[in-house]
Amino acid sequence: MNKTQWVKLFSLLVALLLFVSVVAGCGAQKETKPDEVKEEEPSGTESEGADEEETPAEEPIEEVEVTFLHCWNGGAGGFPQDMVNNPVAQRIRERTGVTLKAEFITTSETEKLNTMFASGVMPDFVNAPYWSTTGGEGAVIKKAATEGMLLALNDYLESGKYPNIEKLYEIGVARDFKEFDLFHPDYEGNIYLIPQQTPGDNPEDVTNWAYGVYARGDILKELGVKPEEIDSSEKLYDLLVKIKNGNFTDINGKPVIPAGTWHNGWSYSEFLKSWSDYNISSYREEDGKIIHWIFSKDEEEKLMFMRKLIKEGLFDPEAFSNTDTMAKEKMAVGKIAVFGAQSGMGHFRQTLYQTNPEMKYELLGPFKNKSGNIATQVEKKGRSGFPVMFLSATTDKAEAVLRFINFCNSEEGWLLASWGIEGEHYTMENGRPKWIPEWKQKMDEDPTAARDAGIGYLGNFIGADSRKSLWPTPEEDKTIFDKWQDEYIAKVPIVFIDKVSANYLERDWPKYNEYRDAVSTLDYEQEFRKACFASTDEEALKILNDIREKYRQAGLEELTQWVAEKAAERDDVGW
């Protein structure tokens, strides 16, 4: 090879080396870790000048273990066996960096909270019941907050980093509960609690329990009675008389009981809806005066109606003493011809409706209340009393906890909570998630499959929940039992009242704690039930009036006067 050829070869090698070094340099940027979220550059934003600085790569999410107490007796059953390695937990770790180290309880929630706060040893965060600050778990949590044991969240929420948590205070919480409990005056403007299991803004997001009076459809058919015709307590009485005289039997050929209830008398009050109204408090307007409901004339009328059913053998004498097992055994064979409560669909679909679908219970009416409107479920706009989450004042992982909760309350978090991993458990079709058939079959065959895959447990961290309205079950995926339940719900739409319950005005009464102590051993409901079985009407009314007098002596009428005066000072009070 001559000199010229050597020079050409050397130049070629140099060029190749330069090319390789450039390519290697381009690929020497920071490696993206598997759990790092890397955003794609939007189209049309390419650098136009060689001197412009490149946008710094997003920092990887730091992985952190967070300790968590699920303060619900027996609540562990809804969580996966393996809290770390299930598919949903792995995805949560990828998106938030958080691994939950969970603790569960099998004792009283109040007892656990008291023990935890007394010891001063807390996990990073807790969820627990918070029905009211006037007693129970809520009072314990309130005390801990005012003693500086809970982390104030104001600065975190004002940072704008957790919009999905901010939303939980705006949607799904009743205005009175927010004023008097969630943002209790003793908190002095500090926010300690994060709501959960609260509904979204749409009516479909609030569970409609379809309360009412239900009668066996085959009996109605044989009597020639249309369910919608029975829309009052008196018409119900006439129907029960016909059933008693009709010699109807259960699936074992034994005589039916015309009317009854599920366990512990639940819910005979549905038979009395002709004396109900749309109320959100314990107080009523009667004859131009504010009274407590136990002093209403309606109570005497309801008592006499129940006594008539009992005396004439139209009502199950065991109704108030039924255990859950006893009640379910009666319902499973169609022993109770008419009952009041929810539809019982969860029980019937596995028992009576499997063997005798012709006995399907039909919703009567619906009943008309004393104002002539349908008797139905009444809800305030938003929920009063719900589980809450709170953080320890000493945690050094507040950002991680809030990042986790914020993600759970995103649409991506909702999908993960309800449906698991896209492509593994579900696919999206026309904007709705749909189970992958093989996975659906696995869930049908193994009731624990979804739980142990991590599907469901994130619901314990979700509020302002619009999953029902966002992804309603398609008609083609509903069972016949789902469709029957839809029929019931359509007849009794929920009535929403956006008012402050007059009950909250009680708390400022100077004698309130003294009154509560005085009535703590009184049980109006138990005395009313006793009166239902008294030997004479006179004796029954004496039982009723005796318990009323005990409440009167404790100060109930004085309290009622206080509530009436305070209500007159506001324009947002509902009775």
Are 502 and 281 a contacting pair, CB within 8 Å? yes
Q: Which residues contact 206 (CB under 8 A, 6 or more apart)?
A: 199, 379, 494
Indicate whether 57 belongs to any domain.
no
Residue 35 lies inside a defined structural domain of this protein: no
**Each residue's pLDDT tens digit, 399-417:** 999 999 999 999 999 999 9
Encode 48-89 in three state secondary structure. Answer: CCCCCCCCCCCCCCCCEEEEEEEEEECHHHHCCCCCCCCHHH
Give the type of residue at 473.
Answer: T
In this structure, the answer to whether residues 376 and 399 fall within a common structural domain is: no
The pair of three-digit structure tokens given for residue 54, joined into one six-digit string: 């490149």
CB 121 within 8 A of CB 87: no
Express as a percent the part of the chain with pLDDT over 70: 90
Claim to verify: residue 81 and residue 153 sit in the same structural domain? yes
pLDDT in tens, 291-309: 999 999 999 999 999 999 9
**Domain ends where: 494, 529, 560?**
494
Instruction: Give a yes or no: residue 550 inside a domain.
Output: yes
Asked whether residue 229 falls in the same domain as residue 282, the answer is: yes
377 near 270, Cβ under 8 Å?
no
pLDDT for 348-371, tens place per residue?
998 999 999 999 999 999 999 999
CA 538 to chain centre: 43
Contact present, 406 and 164 (Cβ < 8 Å): yes
Cβ neighbors of 568 (< 8 A, separation 6 or more) are none
Quick check: is 43 in a domain? no
Model confidence pLDDT, tens digit, residues 201-213: 998 898 899 999 9
Rounded-to-integer distance, Cα 473 and Cα 488, Å: 17
Q: What are phi and psi of 391, to 5 degrees?
A: -110, 150
Mean pLDDT of 54-61: 56
231 & 348 share domain: yes
Is residue 246 domain-shared with residue 387, that is, in the same domain?
no
Identify the H or E element spanning 150: none
Name the least confident of 241-245, 323-327, 358-362, 440-444: 440-444
Single out the residue of 449, 453, 370, 393 nearest to residue 417, CA to CA: 453
Do 423 and 283 lie in a common domain? no
* Domain-embedded: residue 20: no
Residue 109 has pLDDT above 60, yes or no: yes
pLDDT for residue 43: 33
**Does residue 7 form part of some domain?**
no
Among 494, 529, 546, the domain-final residue is 494
Instruction: State the CATH number of the domain containing residue 329.
Output: 3.40.190.10
More confident: 442 or 21: 442
Same domain, 117 and 264: no
Q: How many CB atoms lie within 10 A of CB 556?
A: 21
Beta strand 378-380 pairing with 386-391: unpaired
Does 27 reside within a domain? no
9 confidence band (pLDDT: 50, 70, 90): very low
pLDDT value of position 6: 39
Q: Based on the domain organization, do 369 and 443 belong to the same domain?
A: no
pLDDT at 18 over 80: no
Helix ranges, 365-501 (H): 398-408, 411-419, 437-445, 449-452, 467-470, 480-491
pLDDT in tens, 507-533: 999 999 999 999 999 999 999 999 999
Strands 386-391 and 125-130: antiparallel
Q: Tally the domains of the chain.
A: 3
**What's the pLDDT score for residue 477?**
77
Contacts of 154-160 spanning 24+ positions with Cβ under 8 A: 154/189, 154/190, 154/191, 156/398, 156/399, 156/402, 157/191
Distance between CA atoms of 196 and 417, rounded to whole angstroms?
A: 14
Which residues on adjacent β-strands are paired with residue 240?
Answer: none
Same domain, 421 and 534: no
Q: How confident is the model at residue 103 (pLDDT cuts 50, 70, 90)?
A: very high
The predicted pLDDT at position 59 comes to 60
Alpha carbons 211 and 197: distance in angstroms, whole number = 21
Pair 405, 482 in one domain? no
| Range of the structural domain that residue 439 is part of | 64-204+383-471
* pTM assigned to the model: 0.76
The mean pLDDT value for 212-220 works out to 98
Q: Which residue has the higher pLDDT, 476 or 247?
A: 247
Cis ω on the peptide bond leading into residue 510 (within 30° of 0)? no
Q: How confident is the model at residue 475 (pLDDT cuts 50, 70, 90)?
A: confident
Q: What is the pLDDT of residue 484?
A: 96
pLDDT higher than threshold 90 for residue 11 = no
- Give the length of the chain: 575
Q: Give the pair of three-digit tokens for residue 522.
A: 């009184």
Q: Is-contact 172 385, C-beta < 8 A?
A: no
Q: Listing from the earlier edge strand, what are the strands of the sheet with 386-391?
A: 98-105, 64-73, 125-130, 386-391, 194-195
Q: Domain check: are 97 and 225 in the same one?
A: no
Backbone Cα Rg of the chain: 31
- What is the per-residue pLDDT for 51? 39
- Pair (366, 426) in one structural domain: no
SS3 213: strand
Residue bearing the bigger pLDDT, 421 or 2: 421
How does pLDDT run across 166-213, given as a tens digit for each residue? Answer: 999 999 999 999 999 999 999 999 999 999 999 999 988 988 999 999
Assigned domain for 526 exists: yes
Q: Is the pLDDT of residue 254 over 80?
A: yes
461, 494, 527 - which closes a domain: 494
Q: Look at residue 490 and tell me whether its pLDDT is greater than 80.
A: yes
